[in-house]
Structure 1
Amino acid sequence: MEGVLHELNLMKGLLAAFALSGLIGWERERHGHNAGLRTHILVGVSAALFIVLSEALVQTFAGQDDQVRFDVIGVLGAVVSGVSFLGAGAIFSSKRGDQMKGLTTAAGLLATAAVGVACGLHLYVLATGATLLFLFTLGPLSRVAEAIPQKRRDE
Structure 2
Amino acid sequence: MELLPQLWVVGGAAYAMLLGGAIGLERELKNRPAGFRTHMLVAGASSLLIGMGQLTIHDPRFRLPFLVNIDPLRLVEAVVAGVSFIGAGTIFARRSGQAIAGITTAASLLMVAVIGASTGLRYHMLAFASTLLTLLVLTVLKAFERRAGTGKGLRGSDGGPPSPDGG
Shorter-chain TM-score above 0.5: yes
Aligned residue in 1 for 2:26: 27
Q: Does 1:9 align with 2:8?
A: yes
Aligned residue in 2 for 1:71: 71
Q: After the TM superposition, which segments of 4 or more aligned residues of structure 1 sit over 6 Å from their partners?
A: none
Shift of 1:32: 1.5
Shift of 1:63: 6.3
Aligned residue in 2 for 1:114: 114
Distance in 2 between the 1:70 and 1:80 partners?
17
Aligned residue in 1 for 2:17: 18
| AA in 2 matched with 1:34 | P
Shift of 1:75: 1.3
Structure 1, gaps ≥5 residues long: none
Distance in 1 between the 2:38 and 2:120 partners?
18
Structure 2, gaps ≥5 residues long: 161-167
Q: Trace 1:115-154 onto structure 2 (pairs within 5 A).
A: 115-147=115-147, 148-149=149-150, 150=154, 153=159
| AA in 2 matched with 1:110 | L
Q: CA RMSD in A?
A: 2.1
More off after superposition, 111-120 vs 64-73: 64-73
User: TM (normalized to structure 1)?
Assistant: 0.87
| AA in 1 matched with 2:130 | A
Q: Does 1:45 align with 2:44?
A: yes
Shift of 1:66: 2.4
User: TM (normalized to structure 2)?
Assistant: 0.81
Shift of 1:52: 0.4
Aligned residue in 2 for 1:58: 57
Alignment size in residue pairs: 151
> Percent of pairs identical after alignment?
35
